[in-house]
Structure 1
Amino acid sequence: MAAVYKGIFPALQCPFTDKLAIDEPELRKFSSWLASHHGIGGLVTNGHTGEVFALTGKQRAEVTRIVADEVKGKLPVISGLCCEGIAEAAEHAVMAREAGATGLLVMPPHGWLRFGMEQPNNVVDYFTAIGEASGLDQVVHIYPAWTRASYSFETLAQLARLPWVKCMKVGTRDMNKYARDLMTIKAADPSVTVVTCHDEYLLASMVQGVDGALVGFASFIPQQIIDLYAAVQAGDLKKAQQIQAWILPLKDVVYGGGEPTGGAHARMKMAMYLAGILKSPRVQPPTRLPEGDELKAIEAAVRNAGLLQRAAA
């Protein structure tokens, strides 16, 4: 049965042991907890939140294998694909398929952030090679409009028509282009779902008419984000505003006024540790955990939200 990419998709953190190896028992427990929430559309491994940059190809496949084995087909498991060239991307895509992934979250090669894509056909060729190699569904990760890896409306339409593309994770972070991106995708192929990835302003991006959200923040507060999306879907703006107001202090200590970054992911991992969701906040170097006043602010926000289970060291 084909996966339907709608609802809330948490991008999972990866728990690590004190030797910075993948903590399999903790990852299984975490995956099972997230999957138990009604309204979760699937689980996403090896996203930015999962510290994909710090993991080898084999480690990425191992994370996906563990999560896929734990949920046993009850939910789609989407594995992030973050590679620089077509050969590497095809290889990682096959590894993800063999590990049990349902689909791939395809990020643009990060060389494009510096040098651009040269030609729009480069993008289509990249996604086509991945699709032909793996046969897996694809979720297109759309990067912010200010980057050189931002996709034009024409390119988005071309991608939406590819047979492997089933969903687009829209992280435009320019509300004018964001609205046009959504319309462009749906005009090209109405069956392709669109999900927001704007962790830092969920409500504003949800009311544009999306099919859900794919965000790391949903691995910390899944129920609240599920409830926020349900309120938007029901047209209950007052309830949605109340939920967003509850989320705001946690958003502030994790993201501040910026976008998701390695530092933000470390702050969220610490908040999850304080809330008892993870048994350790360890992150892969060179990212560092928050300390001092920053740590105190996170602890206060978690306490005020009624989530505090353990005090900061």
Structure 2
Amino acid sequence: MPVEQAQREALSHRFYSALVLPLKEDDAVDESGLRRLVRYYVDNARFSKVGGVIANAEAGEAFYLSDSEKRRALEIVLDEVNGRIPVLAGTFAWNTKETVELARHAKVAGASGIFVIPPAGSMDVAISWDSTKYPEVWLDQIKAQDAAVDMPIFTHPVSSPSQPWGIGLPLTPTLQICREVPNIVGWKTTYAYPGHRLLARGLREHAPGVALLCSSAHFFHEYLSVGNMDGTISGSWNYALEPMLDHIGAMQNNDLAAARRIWDGGLVRLHEYVYAELGRLHVRYKVSAWMRGLVDLPFMRDPMPRPRAVEFQTIRKLMLDAGIEVVRSESDIPVK
């Protein structure tokens, strides 16, 4: 049965971090490193009041983990959180049956909700998918998970690029999915800015119970200024937690001058570099988290590309400019 409105807002109007995944030199999951990363969030008194975390998101190697690794990662995150903040479970898998099984595991394990990601692989359901004409490609999979677990659902609505949406799912299939799956409580906004504005208007008018959970951190100032941001699902919390909390808090308190000082003082330039190339986004999340000392290695699992020297150099400078403590430099880059 649909999630009640009070529960929807309490769960969805939060700042979720899409966790990067600590790895060892042999690419095995660094379980102790994952626990340490989770503690970084739950032990932060400011973040734990307003935030949450997502295990097995795209930033967390979701496409390159076995089902058993995904289950174990979620169990570690839930154990370390111990009920202190909400935990969403990414359920991506290479077929619908496995997706449903991951959703069932998430419910049994005690996740607060599931984080659903569109199918991938064949060009039919990836680069060539016309989501407006054939919404069932993803909708049927969401419905299968919903029928199996009856939990709050958060979406990661990436799609083939289109105008004005960018890589976000167009409004027509978005509204159909929200209408046919009442358990959807949060919609991650992976959109180009013009598309985000249109999507926000459409959801406010036709699906007001679905929270706008913003992803593209380089637009947060604008989203906040026009009221089109209910929370986040973003990997940017892995590298800029403190100034992001400061900036969001200033905007929520209508202190525009303070918000601009933080934003223009270096935060927006850091975000702009991280998001400048979508093909490098998750690589740069990992480098940034490593620069902060939150993970021991800056690499993602193959076939994700290795970071380049210029990315280490540029990110370090931009983080320092934004007032973020950096504990590593180019001389610390491990050889792999």
Normalising by structure 2, report the TM-score.
Answer: 0.83
* 2:140 is equivalent to residue 125 of structure 1: yes
**Distance of 1:306 and 1:76 partners within structure 2:** 26
Aligned to 2:20: 13
2:197 aligned to which of 164, 179, 182: 179
> Structure 2: which 5+ runs fail to align?
1-5
CA positional deviation for 1:42 = 1.1
* 2:236 is equivalent to residue 217 of structure 1: yes
Moved more, 196-205 or 142-151: 142-151
* Letter of the 1:89 counterpart: T
| Partner SS for 1:16 | coil
1:163 aligned to which of 182, 197, 202: 182
2:290 aligned to which of 268, 273, 277: 273
Note closer, same or farther for the CA distance 1:137–1:219 as it changes in structure 2 (3 Å cut).
Answer: same
Aligned to 2:87: 77
Aligned to 1:236: 255
**Distance of 1:30 and 1:294 partners within structure 2:** 22
Q: How big is each residue's C-alpha offset from its partner over 1:249-304, in whole Å with a ceiling of 9 and x where there is no partner?
A: 4224433x333x4x332233222222222222232112243233332223333344
Note closer, same or farther for the CA distance 1:184–1:272 as it changes in structure 2 (3 Å cut).
Answer: same
> Structure 1: which 5+ runs fail to align?
none
Query: Post-superposition, which runs of at least 4 consecutive aligned residues in structure 1 deviate over 4 A?
Result: 147-150
**Distance of 2:191 and 2:135 partners within structure 1:** 18
**Distance of 2:89 and 2:222 partners within structure 1:** 27
CA positional deviation for 1:185 = 1.7
Aligned positions of 1:100-139 closer than 5 A: 100-110=110-120, 111-117=125-131, 118-139=133-154
**Distance of 2:158 and 2:129 partners within structure 1:** 14
Aligned to 2:316: 299
1:169, 1:194 within 8 Å by CA — same for their partners in 2?
yes
**Distance of 2:167 and 2:306 partners within structure 1:** 29
Aligned length: 309
Moved more, 156-165 or 189-198: 156-165
CA positional deviation for 1:84 = 4.5
* Letter of the 1:59 counterpart: E
2:59 aligned to which of 41, 46, 49: 49
1:64 aligned to which of 74, 84, 87: 74
Normalising by structure 1, report the TM-score.
Answer: 0.88
Percent identity over the alignment?
A: 23
Aligned positions of 1:255-274 closer than 5 A: 255=275, 257-259=276-278, 261=279, 263-274=280-291
Note closer, same or farther for the CA distance 1:102–1:28 as it changes in structure 2 (3 Å cut).
Answer: same
**Distance of 1:113 and 1:80 partners within structure 2:** 21
* Letter of the 1:221 counterpart: A
2:43 aligned to which of 22, 36, 44: 36
**Distance of 2:273 and 2:190 partners within structure 1:** 20
